[in-house]
Amino acid sequence: MQWQSMTLKPITFPGHYLTSENSSEHFQLCITRHLPPMPSSASLHSKSYAQVSKTTSADGRPNKAHSFLVPCRSALSIAHLLGPPPNAKPTLRSVVVCTPKISNSAPMQNYIENQTKAEKKQWVYDVLNGRRETENLLLQTPDFVLLPDTEVPNTVDIVNLLAIFKDTSLKSIRSLTGQHLELLKQCRDMCTDFIVQNLGFERTQILAFFHYLPSVFQLHVHFCAPYGQYTTLDICKIHPLDTVISNLEIDPEYYQKVSLTTVVIGRGELNSIYTQTATDTGLQT
Confidence of residue 62 (pLDDT cuts 50, 70, 90): very low
Give the model's pLDDT for residue 229.
66
Q: Single out the residue of 129, 180, 187 nearest to residue 161, CA to CA.
A: 187
Q: What is the dihedral of CA 132, 135, 140, 142, to 10 degrees?
A: 40
Q: Is the pLDDT of residue 208 over 80?
A: yes
Q: Do 66 and 54 contact (CB within 8 A), yes or no? A: yes
The candidate with the shortest Cα–Cα distance to 158, out of 79, 82, 55, 227, is 227
pLDDT value at 41 more than 70: no
Query: To the nearest whole percent, how much of the chain has pLDDT over 90?
Result: 50
pLDDT band at 192 (very low <50, low <70, confident <90, very high): very high
List, in sequence order, every residue forming a beta bridge with 147; answer none if it has no partner: 162
- In contact, 96 and 262? CB cutoff 8 Å: yes
* Residues forming CATH 3.30.428.10 domain(s) in the chain: 93-281
- pLDDT confidence of residue 211: 94
8 vs 107, residue with greater confidence: 107
Region of poorest pLDDT, from 18-27, 70-79, 172-181, 226-235: 18-27
pLDDT band at 184 (very low <50, low <70, confident <90, very high): very high
Residues serving a catalytic function are: 220
Q: What pLDDT is stored for residue 268 in this prediction?
A: 82
User: 196 vs 190, 200, 240, CA distance in Å?
Assistant: 10, 5, 18
Q: What's the pTM value of the predicted model, to 2 decimals? A: 0.70
Contacts of 181 (CB under 8 A, 6+ apart): 245, 248, 249
> With bands split at pLDDT 50, 70 and 90, how would you rate the model's confidence at 275?
confident
Cα 280 → chain centroid: 33
CATH number of the 93-281 domain: 3.30.428.10
Select from 190, 233, 239 the least CA-distant residue to 213.
239
Nearby residues of 246 by Cβ (< 8 Å), 6 or more positions away: none
- Which amino acid, 142? P
Question: Which range has highest mean pLDDT (5-14, 60-69, 226-235)?
Answer: 226-235
CA 11 to chain centre: 25
At 63, the pLDDT band (50, 70, 90 cuts) reads very low
Mean pLDDT, rounded, of the chain: 74
Give mean pLDDT, residues 174-183.
Answer: 98
